[in-house]
Structure 1
Amino acid sequence: MPMSSAFKDRLFPALKSIVEHYGTPFHIYDEIGIRETGRSLKHAFSELPGFREFFAVKALPNPRILEIMQDMGFGFDCSSITELLLSRRIGAKPEDIMFTSNNTSREEFLCADAAGGCILNLDDITLLPKVPRLPELICFRYNPGPRRTGNDIIGNPVDAKYGVSHDQILDAYRQAREMGARRFGLHTMLASNELNYAYMVQTAEMLLSLIEWLHSEIDIVFEFINIGGGLGIPYRPEEPRLDLAAMAGGIRAALDRFTAGNNYAPQLYMESGRYMSGPHGVLVTTAINRKNIYRKYIGVDACMSALMRPGMYDAYHHIDVLDKDEAAGTEIVDVVGSLCENNDKFAVERPLPSIDEGDILVIHDTGAHGHAMGFNYNGKLRPQELLLKADGTVERIRRAETPADYFATLDFTPDIFKP
């Protein structure tokens, strides 16, 4: 959702001095906001014993952010070797890491098994014999196919490359048990940025129904269900917020019904990323050019390499112009970067206060899938990351990339092979 008034009150009075000290562009994250969201999530599900959030590292893979998540008692959802190493670097234990990947390589499995292992969540039944050492606890990612519709963003499950199909899921657990697995979990991920709480309740109900059927067929008990991530945030000011309390109540009722019929209940896990950090980050950039041709363009010193969601998804991100509001009137502009691609735009035909060169623009909701999705096309370099700490100080938590970083992979020992 567009940044809260409390985040603005903490950031905007100091923003000019922060810009003077660090320069632009930069992403800055709000520690207080992140912690408040974490507390609200834990409170909503506090009546469910064993509930746990595994923060989706891909949303904001910075060690300082992961330390905040860890301090709140959250685990980490990882999907690559680098994310595993990053989580372990800040002290995550095996039970703190849910490793879910697809098209998983042997190297990734070996990394997952290192340092005491992790919760291994397999995306495909054919991966079972490829796991170098099958752990006692095993989980599968379930794809219901035509039995369920995805939301508008993540698409139809039938078309998704992820997960074990419905007609494979029973055999997957049967094979895992025959190979030595003794503890079991079940995972799915069907939605992205979902604002309808009922969809998430239905996902939990789907998994509970599935483990009830699996138990009746092969007599295994499930320790947990993981409904995945996908909890949404409203990017536009007029959009409603996800009703977290109603979602928690619906899932709690579903678990109560399951318990009444089965004399036990699995723990509930989820792996939100965007919901946890998305609204609590902004991209701060400076207007450096005005161009008037067929449209009015405001050129800024950031580009799509710092935030690709608008260009990739045509996603809306709200924009404030520091110390200017719409009371004095607006103009219709495109806010653009310098990349050699015409989709390098943060806003298209957006009514904004009149912008002059040197004005500071604040692009909202970049605390997830912002810096993390950056890239180096055109040789563009990703910006620094800052943390607005709870005590009001600002900490640099990632420096900006430099040309030396870009050229570092060209410094290698020559290797010429003649077949």
Structure 2
Amino acid sequence: MKTPFVTAEQLRSIAERYPTPFHIYDEKGIRENARRLKRAFAWNPGFREYFAVKATPTPKILKLLHEEGCGLDCSSLTELMLAKGCGVRGEDVMFSSNDTPAEEFEMAARMGAIINLDDITHVDFLKNTLGYVPQKISCRFNPGGMFTVGKSHEDFQVMDNPGDAKYGMTRSQIGQAFCRLKELGAQEFGIHAFLASNTLSNEYYPTLARILFQLAVELKEETGCRITFINLSGGIGIPYRPEEPAGDIDLIGEGVRRAYEELLVPAGMGDVALCTELGRFMLGPYGHLVTTAVHEKHTYKDYVGVDACAVNLMRPAMYGAYHHITVMGKEQLPCDHKYDVVGSLCENNDKFAIDRMLPKVDLGDLLVIHDTGAHGFSMGYNYNGKLRSAELLLREDGSVELIRRAETPDDYFATVVW
């Protein structure tokens, strides 16, 4: 059973002021979770979370996380601009990109961001673009093969086969890249890898850590490079389904600590700082998509039509991903009606739920679609001329703040040349 972080009474009041659909985020939950993560890795004095901006590129959310000590992980020019606009710059920004245009490297360097190179060819591309390489730099590693630790969810298919992934360098390439970067003047080095998406196992991070810690020891010996940080990236997941167990961040942190003490400390690398770039874990459970039932249809199946659609949350349409749904005010009623919950796009995959057992849904009911705080609003689009929704923040004191207004037709047509 999943419980919304807002009550039916609160939502009815909010919806009177801000028409559905909208995404709403829980400030209290976000802050508490950021502090949990920090405590779990407090044993590593240099630990830093670099929140993955792509998950929730909303300035008020980014500022809130920065207040909690988080940096930002950016992957494009506009994400760098967003970080800068939030007052986050310098080594508070990690720039992890691929197939990167020169102008993006230039802006990252101007901001003083830590640049994370995806490919060996980017070493000289960066040198030719900037005229130098930064003194502190990172490279992304891809070990190849399959990686199955923690496989847990429908969209795991996105990143469970490093050998087929477009990201990162081979083992031999990362060694060559370190040597070339050192030759060009780099003095501090980092290692990064991202091998799996939305894992629920407490073993994923410790397993990845062992791979990267062993690699760090080998690269130090082979190249003489001074490795000062290791980025464990993202991949810690959330339980989208009520029956799924949540990972234990304290156990995860302890597992990484054991690997650190077994591999890095004996190699004289006990001062290496750890980084993470979590998105889903940081924000996923602390966002809801709120929508209203506006139509019902009874043909070969029973349908509930809502005023949100896949442009507000594309994960179910794109991945077949599960998102739990609560019919507000009917939380205690039996789930004895089977529905497809659908939006209004002219696409048959525009379904938030298929054959979902819910209480009887009446027109006007408010539905909460859970776990949309990451990769929810951010993956929105304008297909069928649909407009992106508003974003709201439920403050710790119970007040609600508009943090992004809903798009209007004027926004949609703003770039058109008639």
Aligned equivalent of 1:415: none
Aligned equivalent of 1:95: 91
- C-alpha displacement at 1:149, in angstroms? 4.8
Instruction: Report the AA paired with residue 172 of structure 1.
Output: A
Aligned equivalent of 1:142: 141
Matched-pair contact (CA < 8 Å) for 1:25–1:384: yes
Cα deviation digits, residues 177-199 of structure 1 (max 9, x gap) = 11111110000011111111212
Cα deviation digits, residues 138-159 of structure 1 (max 9, x gap) = 1001000027557543121000
Alignment gaps of 5+ in structure 2: none
Aligned counterpart for 1:327 among listed residues 312, 315, 333: 333
Instruction: Report the AA paired with residue 33 of structure 1.
Output: G
- The DSSP-based 3-state class of the residue aligned with 1:114 is helix
- C-alpha displacement at 1:327, in angstroms? 3.0
Distance in 2, Cα, partners of 1:244 & 1:138: 28
Aligned equivalent of 1:190: 195
Please provide the CA RMSD for this pair.
1.5
TM-score using structure 1 length: 0.94
**Is 1:31 matched up with 2:27?**
yes
Aligned equivalent of 1:395: 401
Distance in 1, Cα, partners of 2:99 & 2:391: 31
- C-alpha displacement at 1:4, in angstroms? 4.7
Counting only pairs closer than 5 Å after superposition, residues 82-231 of structure 1 correspond to structure 2 as 82-115=78-111, 117-131=112-126, 132-133=129-130, 134-146=133-145, 148-149=147-148, 151=151, 152-153=156-157, 154-231=159-236
- The DSSP-based 3-state class of the residue aligned with 2:356 is strand
Aligned equivalent of 2:318: 312
**Is 1:361 matched up with 2:367?**
yes
Aligned residues: 407
Instruction: Report the AA paired with residue 173 of structure 1.
Output: F
CA distance 1:328–1:260, change in 2 (3 Å): closer
- The DSSP-based 3-state class of the residue aligned with 1:333 is strand
Matched-pair contact (CA < 8 Å) for 2:94–2:116: yes
Matched-pair contact (CA < 8 Å) for 2:23–2:288: yes
Distance in 1, Cα, partners of 2:188 & 2:46: 16
Aligned equivalent of 2:244: 239
**Is 1:336 matched up with 2:342?**
yes
CA distance 1:148–1:304, change in 2 (3 Å): closer
Distance in 1, Cα, partners of 2:107 & 2:415: 23
Matched-pair contact (CA < 8 Å) for 2:135–2:186: yes
- C-alpha displacement at 1:128, in angstroms? 1.1
Question: Which deviates more, 146-155 or 341-350?
Answer: 146-155
Matched-pair contact (CA < 8 Å) for 2:2–2:242: no
- C-alpha displacement at 1:218, in angstroms? 1.2
- C-alpha displacement at 1:3, in angstroms? 5.3
Instruction: Report the AA paired with residue 291 of structure 1.
Output: K
Cα deviation digits, residues 213-254 of structure 1 (max 9, x gap) = 111111112101001001100001110011211111111111
Question: Which deviates more, 249-258 or 298-307?
Answer: 249-258
Distance in 2, Cα, partners of 1:3 & 1:166: 43
CA distance 1:144–1:329, change in 2 (3 Å): closer
Alignment gaps of 5+ in structure 1: 413-419
Matched-pair contact (CA < 8 Å) for 1:291–1:298: yes
Matched-pair contact (CA < 8 Å) for 2:76–2:97: yes
- C-alpha displacement at 1:411, in angstroms? 4.2
- The DSSP-based 3-state class of the residue aligned with 2:203 is helix
- C-alpha displacement at 1:59, in angstroms? 0.5
Distance in 2, Cα, partners of 1:260 & 1:27: 45
CA distance 1:347–1:95, change in 2 (3 Å): same
- The DSSP-based 3-state class of the residue aligned with 2:145 is helix
Instruction: Report the AA paired with residue 376 of structure 2.
Output: G
- C-alpha displacement at 1:210, in angstroms? 0.3
Cα deviation digits, residues 52-76 of structure 1 (max 9, x gap) = 1000001100000001110001000
Aligned counterpart for 1:71 among listed residues 56, 64, 67: 67
- C-alpha displacement at 1:264, in angstroms? 2.6
Distance in 2, Cα, partners of 1:293 & 1:326: 28
Instruction: Report the AA paired with residue 135 of structure 1.
Output: P
Identity of aligned residues (%): 52
Matched-pair contact (CA < 8 Å) for 2:325–2:370: yes
Aligned equivalent of 1:416: none
- C-alpha displacement at 1:167, in angstroms? 2.2
Aligned equivalent of 1:349: 355
**Is 1:53 matched up with 2:49?**
yes
CA distance 1:148–1:306, change in 2 (3 Å): closer
CA distance 1:340–1:223, change in 2 (3 Å): same
Matched-pair contact (CA < 8 Å) for 2:147–2:160: no
Matched-pair contact (CA < 8 Å) for 1:188–1:226: yes
- The DSSP-based 3-state class of the residue aligned with 1:409 is coil
Aligned equivalent of 2:260: 255
Matched-pair contact (CA < 8 Å) for 1:3–1:280: no
TM-score using structure 2 length: 0.95
- C-alpha displacement at 1:326, in angstroms? 5.5
Distance in 1, Cα, partners of 2:335 & 2:186: 65
Distance in 1, Cα, partners of 2:364 & 2:148: 47
